[in-house]
Structure 1
Amino acid sequence: MAEPDELLFMIDVDDTLLDNDRFAVDLTERLDMAFGKEECERYWRIYDERRESLGYADYLGTLQTFRFQNADEPNLLQMSQFLLDYPFAERLYPHALAVVRHLRVMGGAIVLSDGDIVFQPHKIRRSGLWDAVEGRVLVYLHKERMLDVVQRHFPARRYVMLDDKPHLLAAMKRRLGDQLTTVFVRQGHYAAKAASLEIDPAPDMAVDRIGDLLGFARSDFEASAPALRTGDG
């Protein structure tokens, strides 16, 4: 077994390091242009149904189902190419890669994401995040339920989780207790929806932008029960 890291940062992808909301806007515009408003809305209805049944975002599977009632094969092929060629590196939030480098100076770092087993790893590679963490990437259906597996793959004395979904952070905190410091990154539509909710336990730290973490030091994450800290700006 690998020697445990003293401190391991586990970093979410969508709306934490990468502006997935912008990707959804671009995809909507492309669908509308290729198929029209009604068909665009049908794509997103299928997407919502599959997300509800599968528990993760399935853009490729949604396109497969979408084709059953749409015979416009050339446009369908162009849509598949759009998804595979999408410039995810251009959708990283400002300073996202610098933050990953900064965290790696302070401890180990991995990408820990929810998603499907094909498109999500593809997105992580195309964005440059795969190389940024030297391939230390885990993708699960429900990462908050996989912490035992995460600990087996990447043992550490203390963990830090960065995510835009505070309910996931709370679920992880309930599992790992004081061994985990949770950092709420208040970006994207999930974070906005959570603003009016009471989360228990509340995140240990919160920042408005991922780039704010460049102002944090290792000592900010090492206390056994850190007080809530909010990033500047």
Structure 2
Amino acid sequence: MIHFNKIAAIILAGGKGTRIGQNLPKVLYPIMGKPMIHYSLKLIEDVGLRDVIVVIGYRADEVRAAIGRRCDFAFQKEQLGTGNALLCGLNEVHPDIKYVFVCNGDDSAFFHLSTIKDFLSSHLRKECVVSILTVYKKDPTGYGRILRDKNGRVVEIREEKEASDKGKRNKEVNAGCYIFDKTWLKNNIKKLKKNQSGEYYITDLVKMATSEGREVNSFELTDENQGFGINIREALKEANEIMFRRYREEKKPKIFFIGLDYSLLDSGKLRSYLSSEIRNLIKNHLRNLKLASKARTIFWKTYEEVKLEGGFVNIPKTIERFVVLLKSEELKDSLLEIFLTAPFDQFLYPQALNLVEELNRLGRVVVLEEGDLVYEPVKIRGMRLKDKIEDYFIFENLKSAIPMVVKIYKGWSQIILDDRVEILEHFLKINKNAIAVRIKQGKYSQFKFNLKKQKRFEYTSLDEITIDLKNIVK
């Protein structure tokens, strides 16, 4: 797992915002009853960056008061552009920091948590001296354009007023987020030159890097509403409308349905453990190693037969039939004890409990599984899920019960997470507005899930889901 403990954040918040129409520091203009910088700071906190520096300038005391004590501050004495603001912030960065994440406090309110985490991870993997966030805008007016060479590599960011007519038709724009190698940044930021308006542009650092033959990493936003700049009154009004829709969706009650086997629990490893315990029990009872190994095979064959007949896993019935076949009915209680006292929590997939906790932060969690009503509830308790979930439903035939479950939570935003494509497809058939998350691991991983349709996601680990949750439920 990638960690961000060597990354500091610098938020540029010293601008006036005079084009919006009021005499306020730009970052204090309201979006849904909060200063717009509130959303930038909340995002950085949720990402988990340890050092946060806000560069303030115009009416600095008001900005500092509105923010409170959530960060450190750097003061920009003169409005000399974003490059100068970054230099002011850089002087406050802790010596052991290796990378610097930079964003504008007036246009970073709409980035999703997963977007910034993925952006940071991309930078750490590629180890470039500069990474930039880009987005394609239907109307790119007012944004700096991304210039690339014939091989698709970023060459520079050109501000709109300096772009040619051809350049202005380019719809890939600068989303206002950067990541720098701190050492490279400290060695180069003072080389920035003033532009015609007497300011230093942070975007010129991109051209500086490419002129050295350095590759600039670019990370593209897939949702243009995340890259939303606010420079005029109309944009502020639209920003409030976008945030209103996001709040309304986030406040809508959410229910997460999640399976157990091969979703949270590595049932393959659990089965190996149970096989070993069954073998040892029979070997010690019958004192016949050859028969013990054979009996283990007979048990799982009986398990599959019972499952095929009833349509679901039934451990008590499997044991009853097995001891009759083995002519050792006195083993019934001991066999059942193996299943009821198994250390289920030792076979959880990595991050299983962490995922459930994250789901709980966003809504309510309900286990939705197929099986018998003896073994499955014991499994839930053994996995340490009992206090982490809202409820559970165990059915002999899950597909036939899904319409009832959907109806129970009518009016809720419903998200189902499971490894079985068949269950996901059936759920989506019953509730066309549901979101389906396929956990591609374990026994059923070879089956294909159609991702071309909307509201469908697929991940190969629970950690990936945890990182991308905000994107899933947006």
**TM-score, with structure 1 as normaliser:** 0.82
Letter in 1 for 2:427: M
- The answer as to 2:456 corresponding to 1:204 is yes
After TM superposition, give the deviation of residue 221 of structure 1 in Å: 2.3
Greater strand share, 1 or 2? 2
Counterpart Cα distance in 2 of 1:211 and 1:115: 27
SS at match of 2:412: coil
Structure whose alpha-carbon radius of gyration is higher? 2
Counterpart Cα distance in 2 of 1:81 and 1:63: 11
In the superposition, relative to structure 1, how do residues 201 and 50 fare at CA in structure 2: closer, same or farther (>3 Å)?
farther
Partner of 1:143: 398
Partner of 2:365: 109
In the superposition, relative to structure 1, how do residues 57 and 201 fare at CA in structure 2: closer, same or farther (>3 Å)?
farther
- The answer as to 2:465 corresponding to 1:213 is yes
SS at match of 2:436: strand
- The answer as to 2:452 corresponding to 1:185 is no
Letter in 2 for 1:138: F
Give 1:59-208 correspondences, 5 Å limit. 59-72=315-328, 75-134=331-390, 136-177=391-432, 179-191=433-445, 193-194=446-447, 197=448, 204-208=456-460
Counterpart Cα distance in 1 of 2:385 and 2:316: 21
1:12 counterpart (250, 259, 278): 259
SS at match of 1:49: helix
2:269 counterpart (16, 19, 22): 22
After TM superposition, give the deviation of residue 31 of structure 1 in Å: 2.3
- Given that 2:439 and 2:459 are in contact with CA atoms closer than 8 Å, whether structure 1 keeps it comes out as yes
**CA RMSD between the two structures:** 2.3
Letter in 2 for 1:214: T
Using the TM superposition, name which of 146-155 and 47-56 deviates more. Answer: 146-155
- Given that 2:403 and 2:430 are in contact with CA atoms closer than 8 Å, whether structure 1 keeps it comes out as no
In the superposition, relative to structure 1, how do residues 76 and 171 fare at CA in structure 2: closer, same or farther (>3 Å)?
same
Counterpart Cα distance in 2 of 1:156 and 1:90: 37
SS at match of 1:105: helix
Counterpart Cα distance in 2 of 1:33 and 1:126: 22
Partner of 1:226: none
In the superposition, relative to structure 1, how do residues 76 and 172 fare at CA in structure 2: closer, same or farther (>3 Å)?
same
Matched residue pairs, number?
Answer: 214
Deviations 1:192-221 (A, max 9, x none): x32xx4759878101111222221243422
Higher-RCO chain (CA-CA 8 Å, sequence separation at least 6): 1
Counterpart Cα distance in 1 of 2:461 and 2:386: 21
In the superposition, relative to structure 1, how do residues 198 and 218 fare at CA in structure 2: closer, same or farther (>3 Å)?
closer
The runs of 5 or more residues in structure 1 that have no matched partner are 223-233
In the superposition, relative to structure 1, how do residues 85 and 41 fare at CA in structure 2: closer, same or farther (>3 Å)?
same
Deviations 1:3-35 (A, max 9, x none): x95321111111101111111111122223333
Letter in 2 for 1:90: Q
After TM superposition, give the deviation of residue 167 of structure 1 in Å: 1.8
After TM superposition, give the deviation of residue 153 of structure 1 in Å: 3.2
After TM superposition, give the deviation of residue 72 of structure 1 in Å: 3.8
Deviation >4 Å, runs of 4+: 73-76, 197-203
- Given that 1:173 and 1:201 are in contact with CA atoms closer than 8 Å, whether structure 2 keeps it comes out as no
Letter in 2 for 1:7: K
Counterpart Cα distance in 2 of 1:218 and 1:109: 16
After TM superposition, give the deviation of residue 112 of structure 1 in Å: 0.9
- Given that 1:7 and 1:156 are in contact with CA atoms closer than 8 Å, whether structure 2 keeps it comes out as no
The runs of 5 or more residues in structure 2 that have no matched partner are 1-250, 283-291
Using the TM superposition, name which of 45-54 and 152-161 deviates more. Answer: 152-161
Letter in 2 for 1:69: L
- Given that 1:57 and 1:115 are in contact with CA atoms closer than 8 Å, whether structure 2 keeps it comes out as yes
- Given that 1:8 and 1:110 are in contact with CA atoms closer than 8 Å, whether structure 2 keeps it comes out as yes
SS at match of 1:183: strand
- Given that 2:312 and 2:396 are in contact with CA atoms closer than 8 Å, whether structure 1 keeps it comes out as yes
After TM superposition, give the deviation of residue 74 of structure 1 in Å: 5.8
